[in-house]
């Protein structure tokens, strides 16, 4: 996995940051790990630096999508062909990254996602579960291709996707828009089931704002 970069966007995630980095490094010991600190006001960047990974600090808060895009464009000198990103709140299993990478590397998938809805996940709040399932069915209908989880925060993509990165928003609807682009552009897309864990810290998701932003 020397050609894989794992991006961890973070904003005030000091309670979970160290655990997520450790899990990623255990699962992907050869991958490059890049933490993008999105102008945190807590100890997020200090914890990341203490783990010996690459850290980029945004001077102002750009949002999850904006921070992830910074991670894509980060220049380290290593030749990257694949990019993973995982939320920093300790809800997603880093142990699934190798399988997602395998799909992209061996099976030539352009985007492989970890789907929370191919498993029975009690950690997802009911309102988010209903909203995500509804939107997944709607998007599947219009795209003519099936997706079960439009906004999962665990993905691996190949470098072909980078040409679409600047089209993506900076907010939390970054993930959903990326799924929509993959489906409508007829890119190779696959899903694997993952278990979703209870979040560490307060959620930053505003479902109503995200729906409004996506409709623009």
- Do residues 67 and 58 make contact, with C-beta atoms less than 8 angstroms apart? yes
Closest CA to 148 of 89, 92, 95, 193: 193
pLDDT tens for residues 26-68?
A: 999 999 999 999 999 999 999 999 999 999 999 999 999 999 9
Q: Residue 31 is encoded by which pair of tokens?
A: 């991958």
Dist CA 179 CA 182 (whole Å): 5
Q: How confident is the model at residue 17 (pLDDT cuts 50, 70, 90)?
A: low
Dist CA 58 CA 56 (whole Å): 7
Which domains, and CATH codes, for the chain?
4-214 (3.90.550.10)
* pTM for the full predicted model: 0.89
Strand order in the sheet with 82-86: 54-57, 32-37, 4-10, 82-86, 154-158, 111-115, 189-193
pLDDT tens for residues 118-155?
A: 987 777 888 888 889 999 999 999 999 999 999 999 99
């Amino acid at each position: 996995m020397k050609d894989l970069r794992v991006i961890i966007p973070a904003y005030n995630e000091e309670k979970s940051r160290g655990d997520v980095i450790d899990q990623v490094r255990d699962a992907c010991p050869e991958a490059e790990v890049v933490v993008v600190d999105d102008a945190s006001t807590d100890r997020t960047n200090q914890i990341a630096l203490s783990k010996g990974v690459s850290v980029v600090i945004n001077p102002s808060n750009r949002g999850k999508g904006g921070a992830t895009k910074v991670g894509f464009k980060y220049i380290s000198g290593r030749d990257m062909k694949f990019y993973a990103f995982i939320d920093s709140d300790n809800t997603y299993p880093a142990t699934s990254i190798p399988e997602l990478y395998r799909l992209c590397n061996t099976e030539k998938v352009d985007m492989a996602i970890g789907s929370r809805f191919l498993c029975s996940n009690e950690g997802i709040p009911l309102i988010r579960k209903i909203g995500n399932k509804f939107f997944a069915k709607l998007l599947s209908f219009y795209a003519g291709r099936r997706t079960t989880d439009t906004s999962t925060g665990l993905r691996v993509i190949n470098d072909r996707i980078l040409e679409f990165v600047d089209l993506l928003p900076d907010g939390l609807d970054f993930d959903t828009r990326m799924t929509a682009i993959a489906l409508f552009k007829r890119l190779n897309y696959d899903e694997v089931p993952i278990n979703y864990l209870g979040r560490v810290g307060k959620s930053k998701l505003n479902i109503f704002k995200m729906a409004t932003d996506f409709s623009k």
